[in-house]
Each structure stands twice: as C-alpha cells, then as structure tokens.
Chains A and B, each alone.
Chain A
Amino acid sequence: MSPTEPAVAPWSPATTWVVRSLGIAAAAALAATIWLGLWVTPPDEVQHNLVRLVYVHPPIAWVALYLAFGVAAVSSVLWLWPRTRSRFWDRLAASAVEVGVVFTALTLITGSIWGRPTWGLWWTWDARLTSTALLLVLLLGYLAVRRVPGDPDSRARRSAVVALVAAVDVPIVHFSVDWWHTLHQGATVLNANLSPTIHGSMAWTLLLGFVAFTLLFAWMLAIRYRVELLSEHLEDSELDVALHERWAEGTGSLPGEPGTALAHSGGPA
C-alpha cells in the first residue's frame, strides 16, 4: 500500500468522541470505587478487609454473565434473524464474547481470592463458581469456532449457533448446579453465604462499583468492536487486490489499480 494513503477512519468523529468519553467516565468511576472501597468504607466484623472484594467481585460477575453474555446472545439472535441480519451484530457478538472472557476469568479469580482466606481452599465446587467456570469454557468454545478459517458469512453463522446453544445451556447449568448443592446434604458448610450485610456507605460504593464496571465493559466493547471493524477493512482491501489478481488471469494485464472501489455489500457500521 502506498504511504500516502489516508489512515482508515472506521467510524464518525461523533462516535469517537462518545467512546472516548465512555473511557474517561469508566476510569473516573473505577478510581472512585477503589478509593471508596479501600479507604472510606469500613471493614466487616466477620470478614474484615476481605469484604472489600464485594465492591469488585459481584459487579464483575454481573458484567460477565448478564452483560457480556447477554449482549453476545441477543446479537447472535439478531444476526440469525433474516430481517435484522447485519454484520454489525456479528461483530458485536464477537467483541462481547472476547471482553466477556476477560470478565469471566476475573470473576473466577476474584471469587477464588475471596474464598481462600475464608475456607482455606483455592477452589470450591460451589454453585456460582462452578457455573462461572463452565461459562468460561463455553465462551472459549465460541472463540475457538471463530478462529476456524472461512468466509465471514459462514463464520458468523457458526459463531451465532454456538452463542445460542451456550445461551440456552447457561440457565440449565445454573439450575442443575444449584440443585446439586441444595439437594445434597452435607455441602451446606461450604455454601456459607459470602454476602456480608451491606449498609450505608457500603451500599453506595457497591452501586458505584456496578456502574464503574458496566462503563468499563461498554468502553472495552466499543474498543474491541473497532478492532473488528478495522480488520474487516483490511480484509476488504485484500479482497480488492485478490480480485485484480484474478482478473489478471484472464487478460494478462491489470485493468485498474488496486483500490478501485468495488460495490461491497456491507459498509462500515
């Protein structure tokens, strides 16, 4: 590509501004949560300073399970539905899953850190941790399918099916693992509720934590989406080159310079 080509701008300046603001807001909210969580709020009677994880672990878990996975599942349905099909949904689903993997892993890590001092174990098979671990594997499966080489349409189809099959499985897993514990006598000790009593400044900080991580998710989603968009632009320009090489097979000469626009069926979002 010639060095004088303009940099690709995947979306409008207004969108760039929105995303940037999102990032700033997320950073601010996170900073506030950390400050409040670590210094301002009081430690718990039972769990002492360990309780400060409550400002981080439940919000991350909520983002992972409901936001990320929910966005991925809904986007996949919207892609599969012929009337609403658009590459936007496919890109969004893929971005949501990747960001979701990060948050799910963080859920497991923070949950594990929380559990270790309480129970002396790095891992327990309690309902939530187990379900979350399975969710992580399901998300990784989605990413594995995404890596399979092929045309964008086929890839989108396979990914959407994986997302839906997983989405339908998650509630079933949740119930089955829950029953696993409630119906099985003898596991009640480990089920001891990690949830401390929340009051006063703790409640506000918790709320702020939810807001902060939601903003963080939204920003990461947008950034990841942008990467997806840019890689598609790259593929399209490679397509132009490939087309011209193909034409050259026929006439023995190149009819036009690469970069000559060909009507694409999907433009930038």
Chain B
Amino acid sequence: MWRDTVLVAGKDLRIEARSRVVMHQVVPVAVLVLVLFAFALGPDRAPMIQAAPGLFWVAVLFASVLAVQRSFALEAPDGARDGLRLSGLDPAGIFLGKTAAVTVQMVILEVVLTAGVVVLYGSHIRSYPSIIVAGLAGTAGLAAAGTLYGALAAGLRVRETLLPFLFLPIAAPVLLAGTRAWQAALGIGAGNTGSAGDPWIRLLLVFAAVYLALGVVIYGPLQEAS
C-alpha cells in the first residue's frame, strides 16, 4: 500500500509539475478571493483583521474543491480511470497517494494565502507552530474527504456541481475549527490566548485521522462503481 501511495503521489505531482494547473490557476483564484473579500469588508483594516482567519479558511475550502477536481481530471482523458483500476495498484494506495498529492499542492497554496493575509490584511502571527499544525491537519483532512468524494463524483456528468454540494457540508467542521485555531494564533477575539486554539487543533487532527482511515477502507469498494 505505501509503495503504491508513493507511486501515485509521485505521478500526480509530476503531472502537476509539468502542467502547473494548480499553481497557475487555482492559487491565483484563491488570492483573488482574498482581494475580493477586502473589497467587501474594507477599506478599514479592523474588520479585515477580525475576519481574516475565517476568510482564509473559506478560500482554502473553495480552493480544495478545485484541487480535488483537478486531481481526478488527471484521469479523465481517454480511459485513464479504467487504467488506474486495472493497474494492479492497491486502492488504499491510490487513495493515499492522491490525497497526499492534493495535500502538498494545498499546503503550497496555503503558504501563499498566509502571506497574502499578512500582507493584504495586516494580520500578525503570534504562534507559528499553531498555524503550521492547524494548517497541515486541516489540509490533510480536507484532502482526504475531498479525494473520497472526488472519486465518487469522477466520471459523472454532474460532477462539477455534485462535488461542492457533497463536500462543503462535510468540510464545515474544518472551517470552524481552523478559523478558531487561527484566531488563537493571530490573537484575535476576546480572551483568546495562544493555547485557546489547542482543542480546535485536536479536532482538526481527529478529522484528518478519521477521514484518512475511512478512505483507506472504503476506496476499494467505491472504485468499483462504474
């Protein structure tokens, strides 16, 4: 399973390195979302700083839908999806590999977005470890749940509208927890110290663990749906 994970993740990332779809299309859209929020909330900095954690995670949520769709669009041309099924790869490995590739791409996107939030909104980061752990855990969870639903929707004619409708409600706890964790890390909100984010980070870790485990178990049977 791990060998197959590395193989699939490597393949997905290599394609991304060649085609640069996520970097050149998804990241700019996410940054654009931040800018648009500024239009909506500004020009005073105060509301922007207050809202920054939530806006960041909303942007991440929407970008993850795009990233997952891209991950499965890789297999869309010409029977490649059948190819993956027939390839002899362990389905759990395919799931973890795709999840890993999406996670890597999303982490890069989040670094850019974080820089964007600091620059555009003027937020101050008080606790780097919290930001990093929250970001990784939340992203991994989103990638796992997204990949699972992405596989379900792949190949369906309604996939573009179905995936967000299925995925975003599931992702709501990540939005909630991520925002709270970020608020603690940025020192926003009444009585929020750095450690107030801890239960939220734990929730993000639980979410990620649960969906990674579920995906590993369920991806095989799911793949068999034609």
Contacts of A166 in B (CB 8 A): 170
Contacts of B166 in A (CB 8 A): 141, 144-145, 162
Q: Considering only CB atoms, which chain B residue lies closest to A138 in the complex? A: B169
**Does A80 lie within 8 Å of B221, measured CB to CB?**
yes
A266: interface (CB < 8 Å): no
**A161 is contacted by which of B177, B200, B210, B222 (Cβ under 8 Å)?**
B222
Contacts of B156 in A (CB 8 A): 148
In the complex the two chains form, what is the Cα distance from A185 to B165 in whole Å? 32
In the complex the two chains form, what is the Cα distance from A14 to B191 in whole Å? 64
Contacts of A158 in B (CB 8 A): 152, 222, 225
| Nearest-Cβ distance from residue A175 to partner chain B, whole angstroms | 7
**Does B203 lie within 8 Å of A134, measured CB to CB?**
no
B207: interface (CB < 8 Å): yes
In the complex the two chains form, what is the Cα distance from A251 to B112 in whole Å? 66
A-B contacts at CB below 8 angstroms, number: 84
In the complex the two chains form, what is the Cα distance from A183 to B183 in whole Å? 13
A119: interface (CB < 8 Å): no
**A157 is contacted by which of B148, B172, B224 (Cβ under 8 Å)?**
B224
Of A134, A160, A161, A185, the most chain B CB neighbours within 10 A belong to: A161
**Does B170 lie within 8 Å of A165, measured CB to CB?**
yes
What is the size, in residues, of chain A's interface with B at 8 Å between Cβ atoms?
33
Contacts A145-B152, A150-B225, A162-B166 known; A80 to B218 CB distance under 8 Å? Answer: yes
Which of the four size classes fits the interface of chain B? 20 to 34
**Does A154 lie within 8 Å of B225, measured CB to CB?**
yes
Contacts of B211 in A (CB 8 A): 165, 168
| Nearest-Cβ distance from residue B46 to partner chain A, whole angstroms | 18
In the complex the two chains form, what is the Cα distance from A150 to B196 in whole Å? 48
**Does A161 lie within 8 Å of B199, measured CB to CB?**
no
Contacts A80-B218, A177-B176, A185-B191 known; A137 to B226 CB distance under 8 Å? Answer: no
Contacts of A154 in B (CB 8 A): 224-226
Q: Considering only CB atoms, which chain A residue lies closest to B213 in the complex? A: A168
**Which B residues between 182 and 214 are near A, CB-CB below 8 angstroms?**
190-191, 196, 199-200, 203, 206-207, 210-211, 214
**B206 is contacted by which of A172, A179, A180 (Cβ under 8 Å)?**
A172
Of B156, B169, B210, the most chain A CB neighbours within 10 A belong to: B169
19 A-B contact pairs sorted by A residue (CB < 8 Å)? A134-B172, A141-B166, A141-B169, A144-B165, A150-B225, A157-B224, A157-B225, A161-B222, A162-B166, A164-B214, A165-B148, A168-B210, A168-B211, A169-B170, A172-B173, A176-B172, A176-B177, A179-B200, A185-B190
Residues of A within 8 A of B (CB): 80, 134, 137-138, 141, 144-145, 148, 150-151, 153-155, 157-158, 160-162, 164-166, 168-169, 172-173, 175-177, 179-180, 183, 185-186
Give the 10 A-B residue pairs with the shortest CB-CB distance, closest first. Answer: A154-B225, A157-B225, A176-B173, A137-B169, A141-B166, A172-B173, A176-B176, A169-B170, A161-B222, A154-B226
Residues of B within 8 A of A (CB): 145, 148-149, 152, 156, 158, 162, 165-166, 169-170, 172-173, 176-177, 180, 190-191, 196, 199-200, 203, 206-207, 210-211, 214, 218, 221-222, 224-226
